[in-house]
Amino acid sequence: MSSPSNTVATDPLDVPREEMPRHIAVIMDGNGRWAEQQGLPRIEGHRHGVASVRRTTEECARLGIEQLTLYCLSSENWKRPPAELEFLMHLLEQYMIEERTTIMHQNIQVAVIGRREGIPDEVLRELDKTVEMSAGNTGLRLCLAINYGGRSELADAVRSIAREVHSGTIRPDDVTEQTIESHLYTAGMPEPDLLIRTAGELRISNFLLWQISYAEIWVTELCWPEFDEAQLYAAIRDYAARDRRFGGLTE
């Protein structure tokens, strides 16, 4: 067993700090399915999902995780019923307002990735206020993927690079993987080490397509409103036990 000095303090995981994931990304699936199983309207699943967001964020902050990225709203989710989308926007606005005190108290830095088009002005206003207010915090970075799509992100990056090539800022032959990374929404952020998906689905769903090239994937059958600290611990323990070779061989 690792000595206490090498292990996260008061951590029931007992996972050495060097074996912890630096960045955890989560596809929060199953809110509506959970509500239907409980005989509740779908929107109640989203409301209960907010409690899981709170639990997971606070525990990741306590564990010393550097970044937590949550897939809040995909670019494809606009196909959902207008009433459900309106409720989701209301929940997001409410979360930004109600959680500011906790965010500041826990030294959490909030970031947002995705396209701003289509998001109501009042929601953008509260998002921007929280991002600005928490910009100087040095603890967990909570990155919210809102109106996000991995293909859209890559298209936006290519478009930006093409403009620079056209202006002569860079030459086509000088475009590298690092060039692309620096033009993504996530520029400057570490790539996810661990990707968690709830509700048993075995799909990436257009999430962080470039960034998860070597992420370890962990899936639970539980829906997002059921996700708690025990599930987070199980995912981290499983991650810590894996042999990450990144295409190479273990010595």
Query: What is the model's pLDDT at position 2?
Result: 36
Average predicted confidence (pLDDT) for the chain: 92
Among residues 6, 11, 14, 29, which one is catalytic?
Answer: 29
Domains by residue range for the chain, with CATH: 16-149+191-239 (3.40.1180.10)
Cα separations (Å) of 56 from 80, 139, 232? 26, 15, 7
The torsion angles phi and psi of 164, rounded to 5 degrees, stand at -70, -35
Active site residue 77: yes
Query: What is the model's pLDDT at position 6?
Result: 47
Query: What is the model's pLDDT at position 223?
Result: 98
Which residue, among 32, 25, 13, has the nearest Cα to 224 in the 3D structure? 32
Which residue, among 6, 11, 1, has the nearest Cα to 236 in the 3D structure? 11
Which residue, among 2, 45, 61, has the nearest Cα to 224 in the 3D structure? 45
138: left (phi > 0), else alpha (psi -120 to 50), else beta? alpha
Contact call for residues 6 and 18 (beta carbons, < 8 A):
yes
Residue pLDDT, tens place only, 105-134: 999 999 999 999 999 999 999 999 999 999
Which residue, among 216, 213, 152, has the nearest Cα to 184 in the 3D structure? 152
Query: What is the model's pLDDT at position 123?
Result: 96
Question: Residue 100: how many CA atoms within 13 Å on its side-chain side?
Answer: 15
Query: What is the model's pLDDT at position 243?
Result: 86
Among residues 11, 77, 206, 228, which one is catalytic?
Answer: 77
Query: What is the model's pLDDT at position 249?
Result: 56
The torsion angles phi and psi of 39, rounded to 5 degrees, stand at 75, 30
Active site residue 29: yes
The segments of the chain whose pLDDT lies below 70 read 1-11, 246-251
